[in-house]
Structures are given as structure tokens and as C-alpha cells.
Amino acid sequence: MAETKNIRRLVLPVHGMESTSNSKLRVKHSSNYKSLPSRVFMGKCNSAAASLLTVVMVTAYSLASVPEKRQTSCAPIHLFVARVRTGEYPGDGSIGSLAQLVINESSGTTQEAINYPGGSFPIYIDDVWTGITADTNEFTEYASCSNTTLMLIGYSQGAQIILDALCSSGNAANGSTGSPTITTSQGKNIAAVVGHGDPGHVAGESWDEGTATTNGLSIYARPAGACNACASVIHSYCNTGDPFCASGNNIMIHMEYPHTYNTQASQWINQQLALMRRKP
């Protein structure tokens, strides 16, 4: 199997986050988004702050024009990462700490970021669709690696993007039908999907983890049971009080998932990888 080409990760420092690079991390720049056919996946499936946000958003949209870098080889394990809305663009943001745990524990794992602008309401919904399209395009490209085990992880808006692509969208965004965009054949090699603080969270689902007993924000929540067909490969973490995934009022809870659940999530991912290795 060919060695995966090393590509330096481009990071925009935000809120004290540091620029990093890692030879095992791969980042693609997707600018030419196009809608793909939707098919149900039945496999396993204050003012200073405002100014800073404006700078980040303008820079993000400028970076969207960077040419795409196509995957040139198939790794044993490949991880798609969708960052929190206010994280670096392009890059993996704070959910990158979970990605790094997986990379450290699973030899041969490569990673790429799902690149989307990340914006507040009302453009939030359009940016979710941009992310869904980017996720689907990047996933489709790598799904041709028939012997590669695939994983997706996301945080906040990033979690909504990966789960909407896999299951369905609770809000038909710009160009979206509300249906899943990752197909049965594309999803057959998915071992694990992890979401932190997903605004589309629906309480009481079999794939839910954490303490939340209430739904996420109503304008984002996907239909109950939308992920039933791929429930065995999903863990979605949401705690009581989270204003986004549980309609609470404590923003700090939304920021604590990596610290609270990364170890647990990485252990579950390892279990899922072991199950995939035992498949005939």
C-alpha cells in the first residue's frame, strides 16, 4: 500500500489557539461544491469579540478559493474532522484533540478537515449545507479506497454537518433536500462517527451519550430516528445545560466536551476499529 502523502495543515489562530502542523494530518481545500444525489444510508453506518469574529469570517471566505488537493493514496484508516464553528479555517479546531488520540493509538491513520466557512444565524444554515456538500464530496473521493476504514468526528456545527450528511438534515438548507447525502455503498466502511454538542441532537436516541434529556435547537433538530439505520456506528455526546444540543443556558458546558469525553470516545473508537478488523 502506498504511503500517504504528507501535507502541512494550515491553521488560523483563534482565541489563543496555536498554529500547528503534523505530518500525519491531511487537509483538503474544497471550493467547488456541488450537490450529490441523496440516498438513505442503510449501511453501518462585546465589540472586540464581534470585530474578531468578522475578521475570522472574512479570512475564512477568502481561503475558500484555495485550490483543492486530491488524495493520492489509500491509508489503512482515514479520519474526517469537522471543527466547531468558531475554530480555525481550514483546520480541525478543538476536536483535533480527539483526532490526535485516534492517530496516536492507530498506526497508519490519516486525517483531513472538512472545510466550511462557519457562521452564525441566519447564514449558519447555509454554512451547514456548504459543510454537508464538502463532507460528501471529500467522503465520496476517499470511499473509493475499498480497504480503508473510515471515521467521522465533529464538534458543534461540525457535528451537525457530519450527522446530517450521514442521516438527514432537520432543516432543508440552501440546496438541501433534508435527506442524507452519503450513500449505502460509500458508507459501508465507516467504523465510527462521533459528535460533540450537535445542535441537531434528539433526546432519547440509542446513539446518544451524555446527560441531556432535551432536544437541541428546534430549527436545527433532525427528525427522530433519522440515524436508526447507522446507529451502531454513532456516539453523539450532549450534556444537560448545553445551549445548542440541549436548549440549555450554560455555554461552558458546550465548551467542555473534549475534556469530558475524549478519552471515552477514543476508547469506543478503538472498539469499533477492532470490530471492523474482524469483518470477513
DSSP H or E segment with residue 187:
helix 184-187
Nearest to 200 by CA among 175, 233, 234, 232: 234
Name the active-site residue from 30, 38, 156, 266: 156
Active site residue 156: yes
Number of residues that this document lists for the chain: 280
Burial 74-93 (b: 16+ CB within 10 A, else e): bbbbbbbbbbbbbbbbbbbb
User: Distance of CA 133 to CAs 57, 61, 107, 129, 164, Å?
Assistant: 19, 16, 29, 6, 10
Alpha-carbon span 216 to 197, nearest angstrom: 9
Residue 94 burial (CB count, 10 A): 23
Alpha-carbon span 163 to 220, nearest angstrom: 12
Check residue 278 and report its DSSP letter. T
Q: Tell me which residues are annotated as active site.
A: 156
